[in-house]
Structure 1
Amino acid sequence: MIPAHPQQGSFSAWLADLQRTCGNFDSCPLPGDAPFQGSVNKRVAGSLEVAEITTNAQRIVRQRPCSDREEDRYCFLVVQRQGRSRIIQQGRYVDMLPGEMALMDSARDCEILPQGFIEHSSFHLPRDAVIERFSNRRVPFGKLSTGNASGQILQLIVNRVVSRQLSSPITQEDGIGLRDSLLSLLAPTCRQESDAVMEEHGAELYRCAQQLIEQRLQDEGLTPTFLAEQLHISVRQLYRLFENHGDSVCRYVQRQRLERCAEALSDPSRARHSITEIAYHWGFSDSAHFSRAFKKAHGMSPRDYRRYHSLH
């Protein structure tokens, strides 16, 4: 008799949730006594469905289903939020780093190979609408580039959704608008095999670091060590990535946090939130330090900044 996996119950529940949320996937946990970790949640932003998946499973597989299955009506816009993974489809593979995005066709075989613990966000987009955006050709598989304006806008929308930075509630009309915006930006950002030149690895890592920072700005644990671990590089390599752009990791993180705080302070709908609450929400743990940094960046104190924008 084959002994049951020690976390088999937890893994089975996770797999059932994955199948209910994303369709006809199968999976297997790590061999031996390695404890299983995983969760599956589904968010609905208006009419836009987003699956949030964490796991340390050994592999996740989807066999080619029947074409008339209801669950095959989607394509998956996958965002690698944490860890690394390899995604295989159509005889090709892409290696995903934190912050990167890829497009997958639900009607084709695919395989996801996590390299340790991973976190994915998967946007469910209508397959027929995706095909239409590619002039009725088959849905291409591959990474989505952020090297052009369309890719940067796509990344911005995705980051705001996965990090829950959008104002709530998100209406049905908002969801349709988000979905249509994502669809319109897919074709210009999807990397084709005919791309003449691949971006240099250093530039790619730098963009991944920026996107990971964008997604984790609210976390107090957003440190150079954390970023380096997620990108699977040394802390020194991380410092060098930003130094090559005339910047530093800590200054970049602080600028992004100050910008989010400025947005919140100038937003009338957030007037009920205190300045300290806003600062803490965006990762500052010292209100005095926040006030000094904000005044240096914006030329006035947070209180004066909020008062000025309330009058204009």
Structure 2
Amino acid sequence: MELRQIEGLYQPVWHKLPIDQWADDLRRACGHFRPVPLRDQRKVLGCVETRHAGGLDFAHVVKDLSRIERTREDARRDDNDCLFLIVQLGGEAGMEQFDRQTVLRAGDCILVDSARPSTFNFHGRFSNQLSVHLPRQLMYSASLVRFVVGQPLDRRDPMALTIRSLIAKIMMMDVAGRSKPHLSQLLFDTVRYAFEFEDVADPLPHLAASWDRIDFVEDLIDRNLTDPDLSPAMVAARLGHPLRRIQEDFQQAGLTLNALIRQKRLKLAAQRLGELGGQGQRINIAQIAYMCGFNDISYFNRSFREHFGSAPSDYLRALPRVPVQ
């Protein structure tokens, strides 16, 4: 089953749209990105369409721009961190993230981290992409598999075909008015193994710049988020830098290590509530809190309310339920 060949899964109708209108549609679908037009370009041939299926958000993005940029400031403005699983449906696109540069052709897949700067280059060529929004904290914390972001998966790779087929299946079930929650979890696992990091040595990188250290620390936190012993001191010891120096890096970015760890754990808790609640499963909120690294349920409830504006139980009741057949 090939995603690009199944009629009815996506039937976009693209038009010549004012760039500001197209940019607003993209921001609502994917967060803060900055479209850069060609010289004298006033309109975009394309569309941005969204869809929710199998508990996941999808965005179908079509354009003929020069490029699309996402800065650190843009990433900080978005509260809902995710990994964009990009499937190139048609045309080509250049992709830059983590100093990696690649070209995506029809059928290729790539993971893009919404929490990091990125650039998509089109040079005015028509590009048709599907973006699947995978919860970032869930992807990192719920698996021991180490996977890499910003590295393409060739369209001829069997794992790329599997990913496209799973996406097609999730969409087809949604079109039929049914849902199989296990398919989303299967997609998560497939993506992790498809982009598995194979460097066994994993040497500690040389991190001279402040932003490099911040990026490394955030990734380290993401991969150890459920460890109750995770702390600023543990992070500093792993990085091999004085704790004061790391704290100064984050203070310059308007953050503190303790606040960042708490924020990421709260996002993970919300994502777990959404994952399990959407499947209609019975949920023990205290168990969720402990699984996300919180040792004090009262502190968790108070912090959750401060961050999301509602208690975990109210947040759970407000979640949409996916009909399962």
Alpha-carbon distance between aligned partners in 2 of 1:33 and 1:65, rounded to the nearest angstrom: 25
Out of 167, 176, 179, the position equivalent to 2:184 is 179
The unaligned stretches of length 5 or more in structure 1 are: 1-6, 196-312
1:67-107 per-residue CA deviation (whole Å, 9 max, x = no partner) reads 77554421100010010011100011121000111001100
Residue 157 (structure 1) shift: 1.2
CA contact (8 A) 1:75 1:105 kept: yes
Kindly indicate whether residue 163 of structure 2 is the aligned counterpart of residue 158 of structure 1: no
Kindly indicate whether residue 198 of structure 2 is the aligned counterpart of residue 190 of structure 1: no
Alpha-carbon distance between aligned partners in 2 of 1:128 and 1:39, rounded to the nearest angstrom: 29
Structure 1 counterpart of 2:94, which letter? Answer: R
Kindly indicate whether residue 120 of structure 2 is the aligned counterpart of residue 120 of structure 1: no
CA contact (8 A) 2:60 2:129 kept: yes
**Match of 2:166, SS?**
helix
CA contact (8 A) 2:86 2:112 kept: yes
Residue 34 (structure 1) shift: 7.3
The percent of aligned pairs where both chains have the same amino acid is 25
Alpha-carbon distance between aligned partners in 2 of 1:37 and 1:136, rounded to the nearest angstrom: 40
1:117-150 per-residue CA deviation (whole Å, 9 max, x = no partner) reads 1111000000011112563868632113566654
Out of 55, 66, 70, the position equivalent to 1:47 is 55
Residues 144 and 191 of structure 1: CA distance in aligned 2, closer, same or farther (over 3 Å): farther
**Match of 2:44, SS?**
coil
Residues 88 and 133 of structure 1: CA distance in aligned 2, closer, same or farther (over 3 Å): farther
Aligned to 2:97: 89
CA contact (8 A) 1:133 1:187 kept: no
Root mean square deviation of aligned Cα: 3.1
Residues 88 and 68 of structure 1: CA distance in aligned 2, closer, same or farther (over 3 Å): closer
Aligned to 2:82: 74
CA contact (8 A) 1:23 1:71 kept: no
CA contact (8 A) 2:46 2:62 kept: yes
Which shifted more, 151-160 or 81-90? 151-160
Out of 135, 139, 151, the position equivalent to 1:130 is 139
Structure 2 counterpart of 1:36, which letter? Answer: V
TM-score of the pair, normalised by structure 2: 0.50
Name which one, 1 or 2, has greater alpha-carbon Rg.
1
CA contact (8 A) 2:18 2:43 kept: no
**Match of 2:48, SS?**
strand
1:18-49 per-residue CA deviation (whole Å, 9 max, x = no partner) reads 01110011111121257531210101113211
Residues 117 and 148 of structure 1: CA distance in aligned 2, closer, same or farther (over 3 Å): closer
Alpha-carbon distance between aligned partners in 1 of 2:94 and 2:189, rounded to the nearest angstrom: 26
CA contact (8 A) 1:133 1:183 kept: no
Aligned ranges for residues 155-234 of structure 1 at < 5 Å? 155-160=164-169, 165-166=172-173, 168-171=175-178, 173-174=179-180, 176-190=181-195, 192=197, 194=199
**Match of 1:83, SS?**
strand
Residues 190 and 152 of structure 1: CA distance in aligned 2, closer, same or farther (over 3 Å): same
Alpha-carbon distance between aligned partners in 2 of 1:138 and 1:185, rounded to the nearest angstrom: 11
Out of 63, 74, 90, the position equivalent to 2:71 is 63
Residues 58 and 147 of structure 1: CA distance in aligned 2, closer, same or farther (over 3 Å): closer
TM-score of the pair, normalised by structure 1: 0.52
CA contact (8 A) 2:145 2:192 kept: no
Residue 154 (structure 1) shift: 1.9
Aligned length: 185
Aligned to 1:141: 150
Which shifted more, 151-160 or 102-111? 151-160
**Match of 2:186, SS?**
helix
Alpha-carbon distance between aligned partners in 1 of 2:139 and 2:68, rounded to the nearest angstrom: 23
